[in-house]
Structure 1
């Protein structure tokens, strides 16, 4: 008799459980780390760090279906929730990564409610969506070892959309109102560029836009997250209501730590102005 599986808790369920555990008190934020190296070994190291969740990035990283599969397999045994960011809001890509076994998707550059509805349709089977049916062939259904997967597929998937342009900020209320959007995630880097402040994630206009989105999510009763590598900004956004954050990335941690170690043994350089590279 084949081994039968139940779906694992999605990111949506993890956030809900954290809220329930907090009761009437403040909900503790979920801190996560970005996995951009494309390495399953590095992903496993990050999964064992004690962080709450990982973002496996396909948009700005050398990842593919095959490398994401290896990373999902590598982190599977750890008490960490993986999320996969796709390169674009594309129905075919969404189908492929869901079939691959990515349960928690982050869709970038969602600027209005129509784009949000398109993402929702892509993660749902007909008649509620347009996801192609290939469960018997797919790791996402554990090759039909998840009982009644086609009827229960929504239980196995969470959808987070990324707010990272001025248009998205203006439309954030309508985006949050779309049924099937479980959470929003705010990207200050692209948002800064869209607002005319390229590389200035801490510009007052950018910070105000982020906090506006956090407030809108709170009013809508949906969780919101934000990317914040600088600790001071992370704590500010937590105070403003961020339920989940990305606070570092594998490649950035390696770059900065290796630079610091090299600098311990390097002679002073007149070319070194002491400036730190801008955070993501």
Structure 2
């Protein structure tokens, strides 16, 4: 297992595979870690995660030795702080459209040069084991900050967002981006052009580039344009695909 933090692996451009966890339960996370994923992304934006279920999910990440990222539902300081205090290895930040917005988020996650609220009593502080100065040194800049680019209005601000110190990755949310562009097709040329441009801007700025893909066959295409961080499908998608295939194979066994 690498001794580098997950954030450093991301910034080094290491190919990283993850998947969305949309079911607030520990077993799927343990399976993902055992299967060899580099991270799981707990989808607190679109799935029914509560503070308690997020706590258990991040504990499962620790038990399974897999990085636990949290896609937060909003960028309020309290929301960011909760995920970090519970031990998130990174935050996936929806709908980043302006550099000032990104700067405010960075400040909310940092002690030095920021305004992150301090407490060493949660999991991130070892339940009080880390003294104040050591806690600050350990955690400042430890969690990866991944800015989702998924709005048409963000496309003219990509260079400014990527230039923000503390932003580690530009991550394309193609579905929301397609809707924002009013194209309603992930493969529309305008969506594809915006996706590739975002990846290229991130790499020119020395930041990581990533995106969601539904199928492994899409990975080489985007890796060729600089993407190294991939969220591939979700726990629910894998269950649906597997059970659908089983059901379709099962029926013919009894056909007359």
Counterpart among 40, 43, 55 of residue 54 in structure 1: 40
Q: Which runs of 5+ in 1 are unaligned?
A: 1-7, 20-26, 268-280
CA separation of 1:149 and 1:28: change in aligned 2, threshold 3 A: closer
Query: Does residue 12 in structure 1 map to residue 7 in structure 2?
Result: yes
Query: Does residue 116 in structure 1 map to residue 109 in structure 2?
Result: no
Scaled by the length of structure 2, the TM-score of the pair is: 0.91
Match of 2:139 in 1: 153
C-alpha deviation, 1:79, in angstroms: 4.1
- Contact 1:121–1:131 (8 Å) recurs in 2: yes
Query: Cα RMSD between the aligned structures?
Result: 1.8
- Contact 2:106–2:167 (8 Å) recurs in 1: yes
Counterpart among 237, 242, 252 of residue 222 in structure 2: 237
Could you tell me how far apart the structure 2 residues matched to 1:57 and 1:138 are? 21
Match of 2:209 in 1: 224
Could you tell me how far apart the structure 1 residues matched to 2:88 and 2:17 are? 19
- Contact 2:77–2:108 (8 Å) recurs in 1: yes
Q: Render the CA deviation track for 1:91-138: whole Å, top value 9, x for unaligned.
A: 11111111111131111111110110111111012x522211222x22
- Contact 1:121–1:130 (8 Å) recurs in 2: yes
C-alpha deviation, 1:41, in angstroms: 1.1
CA separation of 1:105 and 1:226: change in aligned 2, threshold 3 A: same
- Contact 2:7–2:142 (8 Å) recurs in 1: no
Could you tell me how far apart the structure 1 residues matched to 2:103 and 2:251 are? 54
Counterpart among 163, 171, 176 of residue 190 in structure 1: 176
Deviates more, 1:104-113 or 1:75-84: 75-84
Helix, strand or coil: the match of 1:76? helix
Counterpart among 128, 137, 148 of residue 144 in structure 1: 128
Q: Render the CA deviation track for 1:49-103: whole Å, top value 9, x for unaligned.
A: 1122211110001111211111111121334222111011111111111111113
C-alpha deviation, 1:155, in angstroms: 4.1
Match of 1:97 in 2: 83
Scaled by the length of structure 1, the TM-score of the pair is: 0.83
Could you tell me how far apart the structure 2 residues matched to 1:257 and 1:226 are? 23
Helix, strand or coil: the match of 1:247? strand
Counterpart among 232, 237, 256 of residue 241 in structure 2: 256
